[in-house]
């Protein structure tokens, strides 16, 4: 079965909502006054997007929870779904039930990984699927409830989702699941979610990247060997390389007081001071 992802609904105007949420944090104006300035054109679309981009660059993320997107996802495997539902903050799921949906003829849609086809083992895989279907049908026909017969169904069995996710969590999911180390099916689903959002809101979709993307961490924090094997490693640095460059620059600068080291008790005394330098922005 082919994977399908559709953007079903979303915050009415995500850019406007996100701008207002950010602006409330940095303005003496009330939310109603901010909205009035948008409505009468004193704040343009470009100004809103520029302000959003500036705030996102600082790492101020809480307003991202105020915009949401609804997706319909079908044709994914139960192997995928077991991973998907581990994301549980900022996302809600409704999933096709194997308790209430009965495969009455013993056949069910399933996913065959390409690695099985490449290995020439597709026939053996499908024999196992067919055997599971036959046994499932035998149980159902003998009066075993579908909720118990489903114990036979493999991870390859397809399922469907309707999800609502806020923008902050969508970015977090992409951080992890667009990484080339993520499972191939999850990467495909998130890439399709990104493509759907890109058609509707390209200015927001560009931030949906793996964590090494220029709008996210900007570097790889996986183990070094994984980075060496990654096809994106040619254009995204590993954190170890950044640390080495930092130390090299420090040495070239005469060995300034700044340098890598473990945080100790003296560092935590600094952290506990009421103020260090200029006050930070309060979120």
Residues 6+ positions from 114 with CB-CB distance below 8 Å:
184
- What pLDDT is recorded for position 2? 93
Report if residue 69 sits inside a domain: no
pTM: 0.89
Report if residue 64 sits inside a domain: no
Report if residue 217 sits inside a domain: no
Tokens of 189: 């689903």
Mean pLDDT of 239-261: 77
Q: Which domain holds residue 243?
A: 224-270
Report if residue 263 sits inside a domain: yes
Q: Does the structure show a pLDDT above 50 at 283?
A: no
Domain count of the fold of the chain = 1
- Tokens 């909720």 sit on residue: 147
Q: Encode pLDDT of 11-57 as tens digits.
A: 999 999 999 999 999 999 999 999 999 999 999 999 999 999 999 99
Q: Does the structure show a pLDDT above 60 at 205?
A: yes
Report if residue 141 sits inside a domain: no
Q: Which of 86, 177, 199, 206 is catalytic?
A: 177
Q: Does the structure show a pLDDT above 60 at 279?
A: no
Nearest to 201 by CA among 52, 36, 21: 52
In the residue annotation, 194 being an active-site residue is answered as no
Report if residue 162 sits inside a domain: no
Q: Encode pLDDT of 58-91 as tens digits.
A: 999 999 999 999 999 999 999 999 999 999 999 9
Lowest model confidence (mean pLDDT) among 156-165, 182-191, 254-263: 254-263
Q: Does the structure show a pLDDT above 80 at 277?
A: no
Report if residue 249 sits inside a domain: yes
Report if residue 247 sits inside a domain: yes
> Measured at the alpha carbon of residue 43, what is the angle toward residues 40 and 44, in degrees to the nearest 5?
100
Mean pLDDT of 129-154: 97
> Considering Cα of 182, then 211, then 169, then 191, what sign does the dihedral take?
negative
């Amino acid at each position: 079965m082919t994977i399908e992802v559709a953007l079903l609904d979303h915050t009415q105007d995500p850019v406007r909502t996100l701008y207002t949420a950010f602006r409330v944090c940095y303005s003496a104006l009330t939310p109603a006054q901010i909205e009035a300035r948008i409505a009468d054109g004193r704040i343009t679309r470009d100004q809103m997007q520029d302000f959003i981009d500036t705030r996102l660059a600082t790492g101020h993320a809480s307003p991202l929870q105020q915009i949401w997107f609804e997706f319909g996802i079908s044709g994914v495997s139960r192997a995928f779904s077991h991973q998907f539902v581990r994301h549980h903050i900022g996302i809600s799921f409704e999933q096709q039930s194997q308790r209430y949906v009965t495969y009455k003829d013993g056949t069910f849609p399933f996913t065959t990984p390409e690695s099985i086809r490449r290995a020439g083992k597709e026939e053996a895989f499908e024999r196992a699927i067919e055997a599971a279907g036959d046994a499932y049908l035998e149980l159902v026909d003998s009066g075993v409830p579908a909720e118990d017969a489903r114990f036979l169904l493999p991870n390859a069995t397809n399922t469907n989702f309707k999800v609502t996710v806020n923008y902050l969590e969508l970015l977090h999911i992409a951080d992890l699941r667009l990484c080339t180390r993520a499972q191939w099916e999850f990467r495909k689903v998130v890439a399709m979610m990104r493509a759907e959002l890109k058609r509707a809101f390209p200015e927001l979709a560009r931030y949906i990247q793996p964590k090494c993307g220029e709008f996210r961490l900007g570097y790889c924090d996986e183990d070094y060997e994984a980075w060496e094997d990654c096809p994106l490693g040619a254009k995204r640095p590993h954190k170890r390389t950044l640390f080495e460059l930092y130390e090299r620059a420090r040495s070239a600068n005469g060995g300034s007081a700044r340098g890598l080291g473990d945080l100790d008790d003296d560092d935590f005394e600094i952290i506990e001071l009421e103020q260090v330098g200029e006050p930070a922005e309060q979120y």
